Chain A
Amino acid sequence: MAVQPEVKNKTLLETALGLADDTFTRITAGISAGEFRRMLRGEAPGKPNPRLKPHTEAFLLHIKPTYYHESVTRFTHTFRLGLLSTYLFFVETITGLFLMIWYAPSPDRAYSDMTRLLSNVPFGQFMRDLHRLGAEMMIVVVVAHMVRTYLTGSYKAPRQFTWFTGVLLLVMTLFLSFSGYLLPWDQLAFWAVTIGTSMADAVPPEIVGATVNLLARGAPDISANGLLRFYLLHVFFLPLLLILFFFVHYYKVVHFGISLPAQEEEVGQDTASKVPADRRVYYLPDVLLDETMFLIGFTALIIVLTVFFFQAPLESIANPQSTPLHTVAPWYFYWLQGLLKIANKMVAGVILPGVLLGLLAGIPYLDPNPSRRGKDRRVAIISGIVAGIVMGIWSWMGTPYYAVRAAPATEIVQELIPEEGAGLVRELGYSHLPNGIYDTTKEMLPEATLADYEKTNPGFVELLTEFKSLTGEFDKEDKDFNEPQSILTISQEQPHLKRIQWTITWKDAKGKDGKFTRAFFIHEDSMYWEQYGLRDFSYLSKPEKAK
Chain B
Amino acid sequence: MRKPWYFWLYVRSPIAKILLGMLAVLISFAALAAQGMFENKRMEAQTDNWHGRSVEKGAEIFSSNCYTCHGVDGKGLPGVAPALHSRYFFTQRMKDVSWTGSLHDYIALTVAAGRPSKSKSQWSQIMPTWSSKYGGPMREDQVEQVTQFVLNWQEDAMTQAWGTPVITPTTGVTGTAGVTGTAATPLVTLDPFQPFHDGPSKAPTSTITYTVGTLGAAAVGTAAAISATLPQTAAAAPAGPRPPQELYVAMACSGCHKLDQDQTPANQGQPGPNQGNLHETAATRVPGEDAETYVYNSIVNPSAFVVPGYPDGIMPKDFKTKMSEEEIRSLVKWVLDPNRPK
Cross-chain contact B153 with A525 (CB below 8 angstroms):
no
Q: State in angstroms the CA–CA spacing of A405 and B46 once bound together.
A: 34
A residues 111-127 near B (Cβ < 8 Å) are 111-112, 115, 118-123, 125-126
Cross-chain contact B1 with A261 (CB below 8 angstroms):
yes
Chain A 85-115: CB-based contact to B (< 8 A → 1; otherwise 0): 0000000000000000000000000011001
Interface extent on A, as a size class? 35 or more
Tell which of B60, B139, B156, B260 touches A494, judged by Cβ atoms closer than 8 Å. B156
A residues 250-306 near B (Cβ < 8 Å) are 261, 263-264, 285-286, 289-290, 292-293, 296-297, 299-300, 303-304
Tell which of A293, A435, A521 touches B59, judged by Cβ atoms closer than 8 Å. A521
Q: Is B305 an interface residue (CB 8 A)?
A: no
Q: Is B185 an interface residue (CB 8 A)?
A: no
Cross-chain contact B43 with A119 (CB below 8 angstroms):
yes
Nearest-neighbour CB distance to chain A for B141, whole angstroms, equals 6
Chain A 12-42: CB-based contact to B (< 8 A → 1; otherwise 0): 0000000000000000000000000000101
Residues of A within 8 A of B46 (CB): 115, 118-119, 125, 527
Q: State in angstroms the CA–CA spacing of A520 and B43 once bound together.
A: 26
Residues of A within 8 A of B41 (CB): 539-540, 542
Q: Is A492 an interface residue (CB 8 A)?
A: yes
On whether A523 and B52 interact (CB within 8 A), knowing A119-B46, A297-B20, A300-B24, the answer reads yes
Q: Is A316 an interface residue (CB 8 A)?
A: yes
Chain B 43-60: CB-based contact to A (< 8 A → 1; otherwise 0): 111111111110111011
Cross-chain contact A523 with B53 (CB below 8 angstroms):
yes
Cross-chain contact A307 with B34 (CB below 8 angstroms):
yes
Residues of B within 8 A of A64 (CB): none
Nearest-neighbour CB distance to chain A for B336, whole angstroms, equals 20
Nearest-neighbour CB distance to chain A for B337, whole angstroms, equals 18
Interface extent on B, as a size class? 35 or more
Nearest residue in B to A75 (C-beta to C-beta)?
B10
Nearest residue in A to B159 (C-beta to C-beta)?
A495
Q: Is B6 an interface residue (CB 8 A)?
A: yes
Chain B 7-33: CB-based contact to A (< 8 A → 1; otherwise 0): 000100010011011001101100110
Tell which of B10, B36, B49, B139 touches A119, judged by Cβ atoms closer than 8 Å. B49
Cross-chain contact A495 with B47 (CB below 8 angstroms):
no
Cross-chain contact B31 with A495 (CB below 8 angstroms):
no
Residues of B within 8 A of A523 (CB): 51-53, 55-56
Q: Is A519 an interface residue (CB 8 A)?
A: yes
Residues of A within 8 A of B50 (CB): 115, 118-119
Q: Is A526 an interface residue (CB 8 A)?
A: yes
On whether A76 and B6 interact (CB within 8 A), knowing A296-B21, A303-B32, A307-B31, the answer reads yes
Tell which of A261, A289, A299, A521 touches B14, judged by Cβ atoms closer than 8 Å. A289
Q: Is A537 an interface residue (CB 8 A)?
A: yes
Tell which of B17, B28, B45, B152 touches A289, judged by Cβ atoms closer than 8 Å. B17
Cross-chain contact A303 with B31 (CB below 8 angstroms):
yes
B residues 187-213 near A (Cβ < 8 Å) are none
Nearest-neighbour CB distance to chain A for B340, whole angstroms, equals 16
Cross-chain contact A526 with B49 (CB below 8 angstroms):
yes
Nearest-neighbour CB distance to chain B for A541, whole angstroms, equals 9
Q: Is A71 an interface residue (CB 8 A)?
A: yes
Cross-chain contact A123 with B35 (CB below 8 angstroms):
yes
Q: State in angstroms the CA–CA spacing of A495 and B153 once bound together.
A: 7
Residues of A within 8 A of B63 (CB): 499, 519, 521
Q: Is A524 an interface residue (CB 8 A)?
A: yes
The chain A residues found within 8 Å of chain B, CB to CB, are 40, 42, 71, 74-76, 111-112, 115, 118-123, 125-126, 261, 263-264, 285-286, 289-290, 292-293, 296-297, 299-300, 303-304, 307-308, 316-317, 319, 435, 491-497, 499, 517, 519-527, 537, 539-540, 542, 545
Q: Can you spell out 28 A-B residue pairs with CB atoms less than 8 angstroms apart?
A: A119-B47, A120-B47, A123-B36, A125-B42, A125-B46, A263-B1, A285-B14, A289-B14, A289-B18, A293-B20, A296-B21, A300-B25, A304-B31, A308-B31, A319-B139, A492-B221, A494-B152, A496-B155, A497-B59, A517-B260, A519-B63, A521-B60, A523-B56, A525-B48, A525-B52, A526-B55, A527-B52, A542-B45
The chain B residues found within 8 Å of chain A, CB to CB, are 1-2, 4, 6, 10, 14, 17-18, 20-21, 24-25, 27-28, 31-32, 34-36, 38-39, 41-53, 55-57, 59-60, 63, 139, 141, 149, 152-153, 155-156, 220-222, 260
| Leading 9 A-B pairs by shortest Cβ distance | A526-B52, A523-B52, A539-B45, A525-B52, A525-B48, A119-B46, A300-B24, A293-B21, A521-B59
